[in-house]
């Protein structure tokens, strides 16, 4: 199977030969930072454009089609506009927290890029508690949102932030339990090991119906965690103007917007890693010939293909379902998703102990 390991290894060797151990480490950090920022920028542009195009097609419209071929430069033009605009800080706002909040949201999104395996042997930080790290850090994002809502000195912002808090705290449970079902099946929290365990088939196929239920619960819960429709109570245009980022403008608003899309990418990447095999090509048991053909498709193509499929699924939800009321939102979590996922976890544990999975 094609691997980026040779390239990364040769860079490592070249750097340590020329710069010494410390210099090589610093140079590698710089390279990783540049790559992460580049991924951020590209993802922001691509995902916003994709969202607008998907939305248009589902609403029987054309979508952006004026700037560049098929409107492909539209988001670049929007970004340019946002950079040039003034980042206003309201008079009554808590200036320090107000300006800090977008960076906290951004930093959390950036931290989450670390443990994700983008391709075969291509991972920033293969930590042995990768999944735990992701679930722990992703819940820090709500601090940034609460900070933004509180510091804005605006009723709408505070209401949006509080709703977002309630929502993320409750949906984290079922997202965590859905993740746990796969951890139970793999017996490891390390992302690379989870991917390796799917070399003979993805967990969504190997884990029978409980894995599919866990996958559905995971998708619902992460849609809620990223504050997207139908769970976009935190922004709820019709009620709260824009929720926690009502008072933000210019680049500070753009950071929130970008962080939202990066968070979608990250949760979809986690979903793809856990349930759809990450960068692992579609392998079916012992079909050697079939598996071999699938190996010819590069692992990064597999990874991004799966991630974008999940992102499309989440966009499909957004442009189909109406927004839930706050009581319906909490009902769904505490009366339906949580009991079902607890029962499902029990079932998966039984399957794992008895070795019924493939």
> Contact positions toward other proteins, by CB under 8 A?
54, 57-62, 65, 316-317, 319-321, 336, 340
Helix (H, G, I), strand (E, B) or coil at 288: helix
Q: Cα separation of 176 and 222, whole Å? A: 10
Q: Cα separation of 234 and 324, whole Å? A: 11
Q: How far is the CB of 210 from other proteins (least distance, A)?
A: 15
Q: How far is the CB of 311 from other proteins (least distance, A)?
A: 14
Q: Cα separation of 248 and 266, whole Å? A: 24
Q: Is the four-CA dihedral 240, 243, 245, 247 of positive or negative sign?
A: positive
Q: How far is the CB of 54 from other proteins (least distance, A)?
A: 7
Q: Cα separation of 267 and 307, whole Å? A: 9
As a whole number of Å, the end-to-end CA separation of the chain is 23
Q: How far is the CB of 145 from other proteins (least distance, A)?
A: 27
65/196 with CB nearer other proteins: 65
11/330 with CB nearer other proteins: 330
Q: Cα separation of 151 and 165, whole Å? A: 15
177/240 with CB nearer other proteins: 177
6/59 with CB nearer other proteins: 59
Q: Cα separation of 79 and 68, whole Å? A: 15
DSSP letter for each residue of 93-106: S-HHHHHHHHHHHH
Q: Cα separation of 234 and 163, whole Å? A: 5
Instruction: Please compute Rg for the chain using Cα positions.
Output: 21
Q: How far is the CB of 48 from other proteins (least distance, A)?
A: 18
Q: Cα separation of 203 and 110, whole Å? A: 27
Q: How far is the CB of 211 from other proteins (least distance, A)?
A: 17
Q: How far is the CB of 58 from other proteins (least distance, A)?
A: 4
217/266 with CB nearer other proteins: 217
213/269 with CB nearer other proteins: 213
Position of tokens 């759809």?
276
17/60 with CB nearer other proteins: 60
């Amino acid at each position: 199977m094609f691997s980026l390991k040779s390239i990364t290894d040769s860079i490592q060797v070249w750097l340590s030969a020329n710069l010494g151990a410390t210099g090589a480490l610093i140079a590698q950090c710089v390279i990783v930072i540049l790559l992460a920022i580049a991924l951020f920028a590209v993802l922001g542009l691509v995902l916003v454009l994709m969202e607008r195009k998907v939305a248009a097609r589902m609403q029987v419209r054309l979508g952006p089609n004026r700037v560049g071929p098929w409107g492909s430069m539209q988001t670049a033009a929007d970004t340019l506009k946002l950079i040039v605009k003034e980042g206003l800080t309201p008079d009554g706002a808590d200036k320090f927290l107000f300006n800090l909040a977008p960076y906290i949201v951004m930093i959390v999104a950036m931290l989450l890029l670390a443990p994700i395996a983008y391709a075969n042997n291509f991972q920033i930080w293969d930590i042995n508690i990768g999944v735990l790290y992701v679930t722990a850090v992703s819940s820090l994002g709500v601090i940034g949102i609460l900070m933004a809502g509180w510091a804005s000195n605006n009723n709408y912002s505070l209401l949006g932030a509080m709703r977002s808090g309630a929502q993320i705290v409750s949906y984290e449970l079922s997202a965590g339990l859905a993740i746990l079902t796969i951890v139970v099946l793999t017996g490891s929290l390390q992302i690379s090991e989870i991917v390796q365990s799917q070399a003979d088939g993805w967990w969504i196929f190997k884990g029978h119906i409980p894995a599919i239920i866990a996958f559905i619960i995971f998708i619902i819960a992460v849609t809620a965690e990223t504050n997207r429709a139908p769970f976009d109570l935190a922004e709820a245009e019709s009620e709260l103007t824009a929720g926690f980022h009502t008072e933000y403008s210019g680049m500070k608003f753009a950071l929130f917007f970008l962080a939202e899309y990066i968070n979608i990418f990250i949760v979809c990447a986690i979903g793809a890693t856990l349930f759809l095999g990450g960068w692992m090509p579609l392998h079916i048991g012992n079909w050697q010939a079939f598996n071999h053909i699938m190996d010819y498709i590069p692992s990064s193509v597999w990874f991004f293909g799966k991630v974008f499929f999940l992102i499309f699924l989440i966009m499909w939800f957004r442009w189909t379902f109406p927004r839930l009321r706050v009581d319906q939102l909490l009902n769904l979590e505490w009366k339906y998703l949580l009991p079902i996922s607890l029962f499902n976890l029990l079932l998966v544990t039984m399957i794992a102990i008895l070795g019924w999975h493939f």
